[in-house]
């Protein structure tokens, strides 16, 4: 089995640097709105049945609640361990004889105070079992959709995809449309984006290519999302707009608790519960 230790360290360093720049950009937006809100950071270590896992890794949960960002979490983690036999059967490349894994990544969810500002999700990750691969993406989740916001968000991610493979964007857009869908309500969670997984690294060249693409996905998010926030954050809204946002957030919570793979992966691998569930909105209603 290939030793991916050095590559995991490089990916981790990138995810942490991206976290720092995203948090800085979001804090700058809060300052522009006259808020002194800043991220707080809480480290955590991986546990199993309430006990620390030796050499199990962990992460840092970043959280900010402000005037523009009602709640935004930006988490980074690097964990190591062994899958349970049942869960291993659901993971790409997990070897029943040696179901060990390493996973490092960044995960972000922002719920906004103004219903006209779109909520957003983004994550990228590098995972190793008997195989190694990258996955991730970003998707826009506006309570009140605007066609130009949707078009600009998609165009920025398409540019990132096209720089690597013209087949990526249509493939990964369709994957996001299929994935971020609530079958029980027959509605999409938002207006889409891109979603990709299992970009396998059979050798060093494949790692470098897939790592470069994953970095460009992160850069695309950092470029486009703050622009969308600034475009809408000063918009006036009505109580009816806020009610629509809270009802929409209920759909978001349903998806993350019932269907989201990342939530399941975190819970099954001894992740920090607060960090895993930071994606849930601070307020929501069900009519």
Out of 111, 116, 121, 188, the active site residue is 121
* Banded model confidence at residue 93, pLDDT cuts 50, 70, 90: low
- Position 91 pLDDT exceeds 80: no
* Of the listed ranges 24-28, 54-58, 146-150, 254-258, the one predicted with least confidence: 54-58
What domains can you pick out in the chain, each with its CATH number?
5-32+55-279 (3.40.1500.10)
How far is Cα 31 from Cα 38, in angstroms, rounded to an integer? 9
Mean pLDDT of 86-109: 77
Known catalytic membership, residue 121: yes
Mean pLDDT of 79-90: 70
């Amino acid at each position: 089995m290939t030793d991916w230790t050095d590559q995991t360290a490089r990916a981790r360093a990138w995810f942490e640097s991206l976290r720092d720049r995203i948090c800085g950009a979001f804090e700058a937006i809060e300052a522009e709105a006259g808020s002194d809100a800043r991220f707080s950071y809480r480290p955590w270590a991986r546990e199993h049945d309430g006990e620390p896992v030796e050499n199990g890794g962990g992460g840092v949960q970043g959280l900010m609640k402000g005037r523009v960002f009602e709640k935004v979490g930006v988490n980074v983690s690097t964990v190591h361990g062994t899958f349970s036999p049942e869960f291993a059967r659901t993971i790409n490349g997990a070897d029943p004889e040696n179901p060990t894994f390493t996973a490092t990544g960044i995960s972000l969810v922002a719920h906004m105070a103004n219903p006209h500002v779109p909520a957003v999700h983004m994550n990228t990750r590098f995972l190793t079992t008997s195989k190694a691969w990258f996955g991730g993406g970003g998707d826009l989740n506006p309570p009140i959709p605007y066609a130009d916001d949707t078009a600009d968000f998609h165009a920025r991610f398409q540019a990132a995809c096209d720089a690597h493979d013209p087949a990526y964007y249509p493939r990964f857009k369709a994957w996001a449309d299929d994935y971020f869908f609530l079958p029980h309500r027959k509605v999409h969670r938002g207006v889409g984006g891109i979603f990709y997984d299992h970009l396998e690294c059979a050798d060093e060249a494949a790692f470098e290519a897939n790592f470069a693409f994953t970095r460009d996905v992160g850069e695309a998010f950092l470029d486009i999302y703050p622009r969308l926030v600034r475009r809408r954050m000063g918009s006036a809204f009505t109580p009816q707009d806020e009610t629509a946002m809270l009802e929409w957030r209920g759909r978001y919570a349903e998806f993350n608790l019932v269907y989201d793979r990342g939530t399941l992966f975190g819970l099954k691998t001894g992740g920090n519960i607060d960090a895993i569930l930071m994606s849930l909105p601070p307020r929501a209603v069900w009519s």
